[in-house]
Amino acid sequence: MEGHRKEEKTSFVQSLADPGHPVKCSPVIIDNVPLNGPTLNVLMSENFIHQSMSIIVEDAIKKATDVREKVCEWRSPEQLKELLDLELRDGAESESEILQRFKDAIRYSVKTSECLKCNELRSEHEDNTLGKWLPELLWYTYEVAPVFTLVEEAVLKKMMELIGWKDGGDGIFNAGGSMSNMYAVNLARYRCCPDIKENGLSAAPHLVMFTSQECHYSISKAAALLGIATRTLLSGAVPFMVNATAGTTVLGAFDPIDEIADICEKHNLWLHVDACWGGAALVSSKHKHLLKGIHRADSVAWNPHKMLMACLQCSAFMVRDKTSLLQRCHSARASYLFQQDKFYDVSYDTGDKSVQCSRKPDAFKIWLMWKALGSRELEQRVDRALAMARYLAQEIKQREGFRLLMEPEYANICFWYIPPSLRNLPDGPELWGKLHKVAPVIKERMMKKGSMMVGYQPHGEKANFFRMIIISPQVSRQDMDFVLDEIHNLGKDL
């Protein structure tokens, strides 16, 4: 427990740091964040990886296939919560503690390769277990995956606290942000027209939802999939939902959630916030203002596999509702899985909340990472990424031949490179027509050279521009300088 942890322990983050690495140039400080070298020494993690693999081989493979071992070491949810220490804290845990978390997760999980585990229509064999055992395990009830059920509960609780839902809520991890947005549309429609589940679309009026042109394309896909349609006439239609985006894919822009929430509350509309990309700002006291008002949302989608860099995929869908709306909307009450007379609290059987049956334990990825880094390190990573984005934007404005598309709100830096041959042309159709062809050629050259990979795209009427996304804590300001130098070197003859 927290009170018994010794302050002098070296945390997992500290064990990977390289304090002896000299800084050979003057530090660059943006928002009080030094941007010179990478924050971690990747080579220092090699020993940790070897130890992790040894645990997988010994505990997850050998023991899991040994008939002398138990199929599971059953513990009640309350007992398991005490054994696992699920709480996510501000500080990082030590390397030895993280390895113990790993061992405990394996120890108290059901041995899916055990020949005597005959609980459902699937099994696993040791030949394909190494390297995929934890991320590939599937579950839908507490008895099948007790550890991961409680881990998911703990992570969702922490994320809801950051959103600002003081009284908690409900949620699940699922197969990506697109799926989360589909859940939001389906749940909002069910709240508006609960009879639609049994009686179909004929039980609902002509429904419409509102979103911006900058929203993720999955919103349109959800509308098409659920029969709402991507184009609709407003005459006689019944609004049921508004989708706000916190961190758009291209520009990294944030919708004014507070103002949208005012309208939704006035007209009793479901407010969903797609924070798949921008949700990470919630871990930063410096940048959480970007999502001001998100606590008023009815549902939130947030992908820790984006800015927080959890392993792909790791996507959470959360709702403020505490009346089991998520389960009532999706429940099919399969009697061979979700028996109500089990010997434990069946509220831990989360599978009936999901459109899927089996799900991967994606929450474990962010939980173990959060344990290893702590909330403070996650906050520092977000702050550093956005400081690095500001540095790059400043450099673009100072360099001849580079032009920002807009001041960045987040970690998306969008800009044009204008070759010397075009710099004397006035703004107009001729310049933009020729500039539209520049980025694709530079992209082709950088890919063939293998020096780096930066995306480009048009946007509305705007000519092709480069879109740089900054996430990795390994990136330094020298890397940003190199990106701009390399783009110039690859395109100066165009």
Domain residue limits at 433 = 375-490
C-alpha to C-alpha distance for 76 and 474, rounded to whole angstroms? 41
Residues 312 and 380 in one domain: no
C-alpha to C-alpha distance for 226 and 240, rounded to whole angstroms? 14
Q: Is residue 431 part of a domain?
A: yes
Q: What are the distances in angstroms from CA 319 to CA 53, 267, 273, 374?
A: 37, 19, 10, 25
C-alpha to C-alpha distance for 83 and 77, rounded to whole angstroms? 10
Q: Is residue 122 part of a domain?
A: no
By CB atoms closer than 10 A (0-12, 13-18, 19+), residue 375 is: middle
Residues 148 and 183 in one domain: yes
Q: Which of 331, 360, 389 is the last residue before a domain boundary?
A: 360
Contact status, residue 42 vs residue 111, Cβ threshold 8 Å: no
Contact status, residue 352 vs residue 338, Cβ threshold 8 Å: yes
Residues 338 and 410 in one domain: no
Contact status, residue 315 vs residue 179, Cβ threshold 8 Å: yes
- On the CB side of 439, how many CA atoms lie within 13 Å of its CA? 23
Number of domains in the chain: 2
Residues 250 and 353 in one domain: yes
Tell me which residue of 186, 184, 238, 191 sits closest to 215, measured CA to CA. 184
β-pair type (207-210, 170-174): unpaired
Contact status, residue 13 vs residue 90, Cβ threshold 8 Å: no
User: Residue-wise pLDDT tens for the chain (494 aa)?
Assistant: 344 444 445 665 555 555 444 445 667 888 787 777 666 666 667 777 778 778 877 777 777 666 566 656 777 778 888 888 888 888 888 888 888 888 888 787 766 544 333 333 333 333 333 333 455 554 444 456 677 888 898 999 999 999 999 998 999 999 898 999 999 999 999 998 888 877 888 777 888 899 998 888 888 888 888 888 777 777 788 899 999 999 999 999 999 999 999 999 999 999 999 999 999 999 999 999 999 999 999 999 999 999 998 888 899 999 999 998 988 887 755 444 555 555 455 565 666 677 777 778 888 889 888 988 899 999 999 999 999 999 999 999 999 999 999 999 999 999 999 999 999 999 999 999 999 999 999 999 988 888 888 889 999 889 999 999 988 887 888 889 999 999 999 999 99
DSSP 3-state percent helix, strand, coil across the chain (nearest 5):
45, 15, 45
Residues 337 and 409 in one domain: no
Residues 185 and 238 in one domain: yes
